[in-house]
C-alpha cells in the first residue's frame, strides 16, 4: 500500500468520524427541550402553511363558481332574478320545493275540478290554474317570512361583530367574510357570498347592490349605505354601526309589538273568511236541495264563482290591512 493510499484511507475515516460526530451533536440538540419545541414549531408552521394555501384555493374556487352562477342568473333576466331571490330565501332546495308543490297542486286541482266540481269548463279551468298558483305563492310567502324574521334576528349580532372587528383594525371586507364563517343560515351564506365576490376584486357598491336585490330588506340596505359612505367619506365606522344596531333593535321590538296588536284582527279575518265555507258545508249536509241551485244550474255556477272570487279578494284585503310592515 502506497503513501497516497494511506492518506486517502485516513482522510475517508476522518470524514466519516466527523459526519458521525455532527449527527450525534444534532441528535443531542434535538433532544433538548428547546430543540424539541423548535422542531414542533417548524412542523406546525409547514402544516399551517399548507392548510392556509389549501383554504385559499378553496375560497377562490368557491368565489369563481359563485361568479359563474351570477352570470348565468343575469343572462336569464327577470327569471334569473326570481330564481336568485328564491335561492337566497330557502337555498337551492327551495326551487325544487316550489316546482314539485306547483306540479302536485296542479294535478290534484285539475283532477278534482274535472271529476267532482259541478261547474262550467271555464270555472274548472280557473280552479285548476288558480289553486296551484295560490299554493305556490303561499309557500313562497311562508319561506320569505321565515327567512326575513331569521335574518333580522341575526342582524344586530352581525353589526356588533363588525363593530368589534372595526375597532380592532380589521378591514371591512375581511369582517364580512368572518361573518359568513361565524354565522349560520340565513345570514351566514349570504355574507359568505358577498365576501367571495369582494375576494375576487369586484366593486363593493356593485356587490352590495346585488345583495340588496336578493335580500330586499330595509335593514340590510341601511348597513350597505353605511359601509359605502364610510368607504367614500371616511369617519368612525364603529360609531355609525352602533347607532344602526340600536335602530335595528328598535325596529325589531316595534315589529313584535305590531304583531301582538294585530293578532286580534288577523284572527277575526280568518274566522270571517271561514264562515261562508262552514255555512255551505252545513247546508249541503242538512238541506242539500236548498243549495243545489248553485251546483246544477248555469246561473248558480256563475254566482258561486263570483262568490268565491269576492271571498278570496276580501280575505286578501283583510290580511293586507292587518299586516303592518315595519
User: Residue written as cell 342568473?
Assistant: 73
Averaged in consecutive runs of 10 residues, what is the pLDDT profile of the chain (326 residues)?
A: 62 66 65 55 53 62 70 73 80 82 89 77 81 88 89 92 89 88 88 85 87 89 89 82 90 84 80 86 84 82 84 82 65
pLDDT of amino acid 56: 63
Burial 28-54 (b: 16+ CB within 10 A, else e): eeeeeeeeeeeeeeeeeeeeeeeeeee
The answer to whether the CB of 266 falls within 8 A of the CB of 322 is yes
pLDDT of amino acid 291: 83
Q: Rounded CA gap, 291 and 308, in Å?
A: 15
pLDDT of amino acid 265: 77
pLDDT of amino acid 151: 92
Q: Rounded CA gap, 26 and 38, in Å?
A: 13
pTM of the model: 0.69
Cell numbers representing residue 195 in the block: 365576501
pLDDT of amino acid 15: 67
pLDDT of amino acid 157: 92
pLDDT of amino acid 21: 66
**What are the pLDDT digits (tens) for 216-230?**
898 899 999 988 888
pLDDT of amino acid 257: 86
pLDDT of amino acid 36: 54
- Give the containing element (helix H, strand E) for 301: helix 298-322
pLDDT of amino acid 236: 79
Amino acid at each position: 500500500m502506497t503513501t497516497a493510499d494511506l492518506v486517502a484511507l485516513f482522510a475517508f475515516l476522518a470524514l466519516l468520524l466527523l459526519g458521525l460526530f455532527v449527527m450525534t451533536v444534532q441528535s443531542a440538540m434535538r433532544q433538548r427541550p428547546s430543540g424539541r419545541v423548535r422542531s414542533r414549531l417548524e412542523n406546525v408552521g409547514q402544516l399551517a402553511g399548507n392548510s392556509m394555501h389549501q383554504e385559499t384555493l378553496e375560497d377562490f374556487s368557491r368565489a369563481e363558481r359563485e361568479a359563474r352562477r351570477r352570470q348565468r342568473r343575469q343572462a336569464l333576466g327577470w327569471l334569473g332574478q326570481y330564481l336568485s331571490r328564491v335561492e337566497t330565501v330557502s337555498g337551492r332546495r327551495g326551487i325544487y320545493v316550489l316546482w314539485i308543490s306547483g306540479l302536485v297542486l296542479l294535478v290534484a286541482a285539475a283532477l278534482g275540478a274535472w271529476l267532482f266540481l259541478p261547474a262550467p269548463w271555464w270555472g274548472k279551468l280557473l280552479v285548476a290554474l288558480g289553486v296551484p298558483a295560490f299554493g305556490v305563492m303561499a309557500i313562497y310567502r311562508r319561506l320569505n317570512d321565515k327567512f326575513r324574521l331569521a335574518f333580522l334576528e341575526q342582524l344586530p349580532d352581525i353589526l356588533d361583530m363588525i363593530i368589534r372587528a372595526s375597532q380592532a383594525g380589521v378591514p371591512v371586507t375581511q369582517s364580512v367574510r368572518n361573518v359568513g364563517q361565524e354565522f349560520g343560515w340565513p345570514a351566514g351564506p349570504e355574507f359568505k357570498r358577498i365576501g367571495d365576490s369582494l375576494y375576487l376584486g369586484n366593486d363593493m357598491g356593485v356587490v352590495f347592490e346585488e345583495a340588496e336585490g336578493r335580500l330586499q330588506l330595509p335593514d340590510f340596505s341601511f348597513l350597505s349605505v353605511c359601509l359605502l359612505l364610510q368607504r367614500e367619506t371616511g369617519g368612525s365606522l364603529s360609531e355609525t354601526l352602533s347607532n344602526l344596531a340600536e335602530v335595528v333593535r328598535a325596529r325589531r321590538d316595534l315589529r313584535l309589538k305590531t304583531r301582538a296588536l294585530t293578532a286580534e284582527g288577523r284572527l277575526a279575518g280568518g274566522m270571517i273568511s271561514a264562515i261562508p265555507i262552514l255555512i255551505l258545508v252545513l247546508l249541503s249536509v242538512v238541506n242539500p236541495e236548498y243549495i243545489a241551485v248553485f251546483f246544477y244550474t248555469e246561473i248558480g255556477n256563475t254566482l258561486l264563482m263570483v262568490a268565491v272570487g269576492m271571498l278570496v279578494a276580501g280575505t286578501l284585503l283583510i290580511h293586507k290591512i292587518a299586516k303592518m310592515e315595519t
